[in-house]
Each structure stands twice: as structure tokens, then as C-alpha cells.
Chains A and B, each alone.
Chain A
Amino acid sequence: MFENSYKESDVNKVNDFVEHLLSSPGIKSEHLLAGEGIIVNFIEQNMPRLKVTFKKNQFFPYLELNQVLELILENLYSRVSGVVLPVINQFVNNTDFTFMDKFSDIGTVSDKFRRERLHDFVQMIFSNRDSRFNMISTINIFKYSVLEKYMGEIFKNRDYLYDELTRVQKITPDSSEYIILLKTMFLIRNIVYTKLPLNPSNPEIKICINDIGENRDIILSYTNSILKYMIPLLPGIPEKFIRLSVQSAFRADLLEQDESLSKLVFILNSRFQNYKHIGKTDRGAESSDKSWFCLAGKNAAHFGYDRQILDALYLIAGDNNW
């Protein structure tokens, strides 16, 4: 709800304006979340000019800039949440998470309670703009059943990646439970983009992943702090999984050897961040995923991807023409 009350005509005009922006050539082919990000960045970069422009008759001459911005941002949020949240809520509200109790130190938690807290957590991070903009990958992975496809193949082939995820990682649920686990990790990991008061002695200071650099010790400290912050928020999600989720936001070379699950999530997150779904691959071209995993393999050191996991994903994508 708006703090100020606005005329219906202003709200409608803003709606038309946002619609116009979203249909501009540079945005229309993007995911709605990316579209929101582009518009917000544009507004932030062009504030002085927009202040003058919005006063023109064709725009909002009777509104102050902050009012226009409030209306625009609210409109964008309602559009984005209307498209994205149902996809996530559908997963959170209809999934059986009870298998997680097997990996938890705190015993059995009511699955209904666990779902409610996860639901609230998702609403919380989604309402944060920085976290929300980084959820494109999560949405794409949910929308295009990426984990269902890849985990199905990993469990069928039972080769390197299967071995890494089950034996080395010491997590041995079945394929469907692994899909739920990974989806949950994709939801949780977005917390790292929200600025949080992680230092109890100085709650004024809020930090996110972009503030901590690439020092291993600082990363470890950040991970521990964020873990302390999140455990009360997500009862029933084992600490181990929350840790792996947070670690999946870091490059492979900053993680330990046995954290393959985090490395896999890091790769898949990058893959599906700027993903454009292609119905049919161009003739003469390698398939979309195969191409991406191959190129990522060549740039593995630059982007911090685990080369062996990439190779395994490349083979799966190639075998299945993905």
C-alpha cells in the first residue's frame, strides 16, 4: 500500500509508463526481473534529468519526483511479484521437506512449520531489491525444471558428479530429495545479496557479499555470521545445508575441495542468470547448455568454476542435446 494516496489516473498513467518502458527494445527480451533491474539502474543513473522530464505535461506534472518513483517502483514490484512468487510459493507450499530432518541436529520439525518459515523467508528476501535482482537464475531453474533434468541424468549415469554429490559430500538422499534440497539452496543463497546486520555489537553496520572481498578468512567469518543470523529464521533446514547454500555464492577456488554441492549450485546459478530459453537450437550450432558449459570450461579460472563439474555437466548437456 502506498504511504501517500494517489489519484487513480496517476496510478494508471504510471502503469502505462512502466508498460511502455518494459516494451522498449533493450528490455522486452529480458526476464521481467532483469527488466526491473534495468529500469531501477536507469532511474538511479539519470535522476537529475528525470526530475526535469517527469515534470513535462506528457508525464506527471502534478507529482513530485519521489512520488513518481514510489509509484513506478511499486508498480514494478507488483508486476514482478505477480509473476515470480507464485512459481516459488508453489514449490514451498507443496513440497515435502521431511527428509531434511535426517540431516538436522535438532531433531524433527513440523513440516508445516518449516514450510511457513521458508515461505516467510522467501517473501523477506524477495522484498529486498538486491536479492530479488539476483533471483533470475533461481526463477529460471524453477521454471525450466533444470534440476529435474540434470539430477535425473546425474543419478542415472552415476559417474563423477554423482560420486562427488553423494559420497564426497556425504549427503545421500535420492534423486527427488536432492532436487528439493538444491531448490531450497537456490532460494536460501539469495540472502547473501541482502545487506544484513551481522555484527551484534554494531547493528548499524549492514553488509552483503559484495562488501567482503575474496579473503578466505573473511569469507569464513561472513559465512559463520550469516549462518548464525539465518538458523533462527529457518528452523528445520539443517545448518549444513544453509552453510552450503551460502558458500554457493563464492568461487570454487575459495571453497574447500569437498564442497561440490556449493560449486555445482554456483555454476548452475551463473548458467541460468542470463539464460534465454531457446525452443529450437540453430542448425549447425551446439545446443545452448552444451555451448555454455564448454565456454565456461575455457573460462573456468576467470569465473571461478570447478572445471571437473563443468566437464560433467558438459557431457550431460551434450548427451541430451540440452
Chain B
Amino acid sequence: MTGMNRKFDMKNFLEIFITSAIVLVVIQTLLDEYSRFAHCSIRSRNILLIAGFCFDLIFSIEFTVRTVLSGRKGRFLSYIKHERGWVDFLSSFPILILDSGPSFFFLMSADAQTGTGAIAAMNVFKALRITRLLRLFRITRISGKINYSGSKMARHHISVITTTAVLTIVSVLLVFSFISGTSAVGFSKERSEEYVKLTEGLKRISDMNASSFREISENLLLDDKNIIKIIYSNGTVVEKISDMEFKKYYDESDYISVIGKGCTLIVSIADINKETAIEHIKILMIIIFITLSFMILYTIHFARNISDVIHILNMGFRKKDYNMLVKIPEEKADHEIFRLAKFYNDAYLPSKMKRMDRKDMKSGMSVSMKDLTDFK
């Protein structure tokens, strides 16, 4: 195998590797949201968190390598501007530094206390995860294989329009989440306030009846589906689920501690997370389907109306024995490209046919002395 072939194979391998990573990161992002929706075990969610970190690391390394290589060739700006290096950047380092990196760090260091606060603060950056989907434009190169459109121009334009669409959706979502905060945070706060009020009410009732707080409140609180644990002021703890089960299914993002009158309540917000997850899944699916639509439907449209026509014109202009007419749909006959095709069909090809006839295709010009002297 020659050096060129090795280089080519390595390049191909890396392209396939990155494309596979993009497909996998989309699946990982969906599974991550699904794990919250289905309230999967902490272990499963941690595996997905680690996977997300690995993907972000891979993409950050890829961006760094591309930056260095293009920089060496003096093409860094071209990479950033024309080859959508800016998308590579947005979908790598910011998520790694602000979201998956810190989450992975806290998970590894098992610093629950610090982690809890930090992770809560990081919730706002979770929205950044969606920028991973910006990378979907890169898999438009697969669309060439799906639609048999090997056209470089088609791939370029499809990736531009895909990036534009996905970026628009992602930008709007990010702006909204930074301005108004995430819905999960708002609902959790509301829930916390509700339970504070509830404990205050119960405390007043127990005081009025001169009964113990626990006697008045326990049955009511235990009947509440969100309350997982009641820690009374005197230190008594009443649990609805075992400690083992609690540790298996609940982390700091799944519950809130409500410090009320007479007790502290551990209240589940898994249902809020579920609602948020379904919202996120919807958004992800919208982005994925928009990308797929561009990749499949718009690519077909683009190929039929632009790149196929140009391919035929190009072949006809360049190859002496290529004389295929361009198909011109009646309803699009006034489009500029089909007007050009009409000129090609009606004037250029007939004239070429005459020219080739005069040239005598069977002259000895098809073979040269070089062809002959190459003989060994």
C-alpha cells in the first residue's frame, strides 16, 4: 500500500469515526432525556453522563486537530468560516467546559455536597447540550449515499441549509432558557413553596387542636405521592421508600428538600423532570426530523432541480461522446437553470453533434506516440 493510500484510508477512517460519533451522540442525547423521562436508575444515568462527556471530549479533540492542521496550512479562517469550523467549536468546547466536563468531574470526585450546588447552578447550561445537534449537518455527507447524489455542491448547500435551520432553533431555545430560566427550575420552586405552605397550615391546625404535629400531619403527608421522606423536628424520620431504593433512583436533581414548620420534607420532582424531558425529547425530535427532511427530501429536490442538471451540462460540455439531453419539467421551464438547459438541448448539443461528425471520431488522434512508446 502506498503512502497516499494510507493517508487516504486514515482520512476515510476518521471521517467514518466522526460521523459515527455524531450519530451516537444524537442517540446518547435522546437516551439521556429518556432516562429522566422514565426515571431510570442513577447508574444508568451516570453511564449516559460519562458517554456524553466522552463524545464532547472527542469532538473537542477533533476541533483542536482541525484547527491545528488548518492553521498550519494558513487556512484557519477558511476552516472557521467556510467549512463550518464555528459549528465544530460551538458543539464541542462550550458543552465540555460548562456541562459534561463539570458533571463528569463531580461524578468522579463523588463530591456530593459541592456537586449538588454546582450541578444546580449548571442546570442553566444543560440547554447547551442541544448544540450537539448542530453537528448533524456533518452527516449530510451520508445523504449523498442515501440519495445517490455524489454532488459536492449538493452536499455543501444541504449542510448550509441544515445548519441554518438547526442553528435558528437552537439559538431561539438558548435565548429563551437564558432569559426566562428552565421550566424545571420554576416548577421546582413553585412546588417547594406549596409544601412550605402545607406544613405551615398543618402546624397551625396542630397548634389550634393542641395536638402533636406528627399526629395531625403524618397520614396526610404520607398520602402525598411526591413526598418521599419526612424528617420531624425531633429527629424522627418516616420514609416511604427504603434508603437503598432512594439511593438507586434519586439524585440531587430528582428531589427537593422543603424545610417547613415542624418538619423537613424530601419531595420528589421526578414528575417535573419527566415533563421537562418530554419537552426536550420533542425539541430534539423536531431538530432530528428537520435535519432528516433536509437530508432526504430537500436533497432529492436539490438534486432534481439543480445538481443533476448541472452534472449533465458539465458532462455534455466536457465529454466528447456525452450527448444526453437534460429533462426539462414543463412547470419549471422558465427557471433560469432549465432555460440554460434548454439552450444546451436545443443549440449546444445539436451543434456539438455536427462538430463531432466533422472531426472524424475514428481518426488516429485517439492514440498518441506516447501511448505507443509506453510499451515495455
Binding site for B on A (CB under 8 A): 16-17, 20-21, 24-27, 30, 34, 37-39, 41-46, 49-50, 53, 58-59, 133, 274, 276, 281-286, 288, 290-292, 294-296, 298-299, 302-303
Contacts and interface: CB of A to CB of B under 8 A. Distances in A.
Contacts of B321: 274, 276
Nearest to A270: B357
B278 to A, nearest CB: 41
Contacts of B364: 38, 41-46
B369 A53 contact: yes
A26 B324 contact: no
Interface stretch (B26-34, B52-60, B136-144, B308-316): B308-316
Given A20-B375, A41-B364, A298-B346, A285 B303 contact: no
Contacts of B323: 291-292, 295
A318 B267 CA distance: 73
Closest 5 CB pairs of A and B: A284-B308, A26-B366, A42-B364, A285-B324, A24-B371
A298 B345 CA distance: 10
B361 A274 contact: yes
Contacts of B367: 21, 24, 26-27, 38-39, 42
Contacts of B374: 20, 24
A294 B325 CA distance: 8
Given A41-B363, A283-B308, A284-B304, A58 B375 contact: yes
Tell me the dominant secondary structure on chain B's binding face: helix
A43 B369 CA distance: 10
Given A281-B324, A284-B304, A285-B325, A58 B366 contact: no
21 contacts: A16-B375, A20-B374, A21-B375, A26-B366, A26-B367, A37-B362, A38-B362, A39-B367, A42-B364, A53-B369, A53-B372, A58-B375, A281-B324, A286-B327, A291-B325, A295-B323, A295-B349, A295-B350, A299-B350, A299-B354, A302-B354
A99 B309 CA distance: 49
A282 B313 CA distance: 11
Given A26-B366, A27-B366, A299-B354, A53 B373 contact: yes
Contact of B375 (A27, A30, A39, A59): A59
A318 to B, nearest CB: 11
Contacts of A299: 350, 353-354
A30 B311 contact: no
Contacts of B324: 281-282, 285-286, 288, 291
Interface of B: 148, 303-304, 308-309, 311-312, 315, 321, 323-327, 345-346, 349-350, 353-354, 357, 361-369, 371-376
A284 B306 CA distance: 10
B311 A284 contact: yes
Contacts of A42: 364, 366-367
Contacts of B325: 285-286, 290-291, 294-295
B277 to A, nearest CB: 43
A287 to B, nearest CB: 8
A210 to B, nearest CB: 13
A284 B327 contact: yes
Contacts of A43: 364
Contacts of A53: 369, 372-373
A123 B308 CA distance: 46
Nearest to B376: A58
A26 B324 CA distance: 21
A295 to B, nearest CB: 5
Contacts of A46: 364, 369
A298 B350 contact: yes
Contacts of A296: 353
Contacts of B349: 291, 295
Contacts of B376: 58
Given A53-B373, A296-B353, A298-B346, A283 B366 contact: no
B257 to A, nearest CB: 64
A303 B358 CA distance: 11
A67 B288 CA distance: 72
Given A26-B366, A53-B373, A294-B325, 6 more contacts: A20-B371, A38-B364, A59-B375, A274-B321, A284-B303, A288-B324
Nearest to A40: B364
Given A294-B325, A299-B350, A282 B366 contact: no
Best-surrounded residue of B315, B354, B364 (most CB of chain A within 10 A): B364
B322 to A, nearest CB: 9
A59 B321 CA distance: 33
A16 B308 CA distance: 41
Given A285-B325, A292-B323, A298-B346, A133 B362 contact: yes
Contacts of B372: 21, 50, 53
Contacts of B365: 26
Contacts of B366: 26-27, 30, 38, 42
Given A38-B362, A274-B361, A295-B325, A283 B368 contact: no
B317 to A, nearest CB: 14
A241 B196 CA distance: 109
Contacts of A302: 354
Best-surrounded residue of B324, B326, B353, B368 (most CB of chain A within 10 A): B324
Nearest to A25: B371
B303 to A, nearest CB: 7
A242 B325 CA distance: 36
Contacts of B353: 295-296, 299
A58 B375 CA distance: 8
Contact of A26 (B368, B373, B375): B368
Best-surrounded residue of B327, B363, B368 (most CB of chain A within 10 A): B327
B308 A282 contact: yes
B326 A284 contact: yes
A284 B312 contact: yes
B311 A282 contact: yes
Contacts of B363: 38, 41
Contacts of A290: 325
Nearest to A281: B324
A297 to B, nearest CB: 9
A27 B376 CA distance: 18
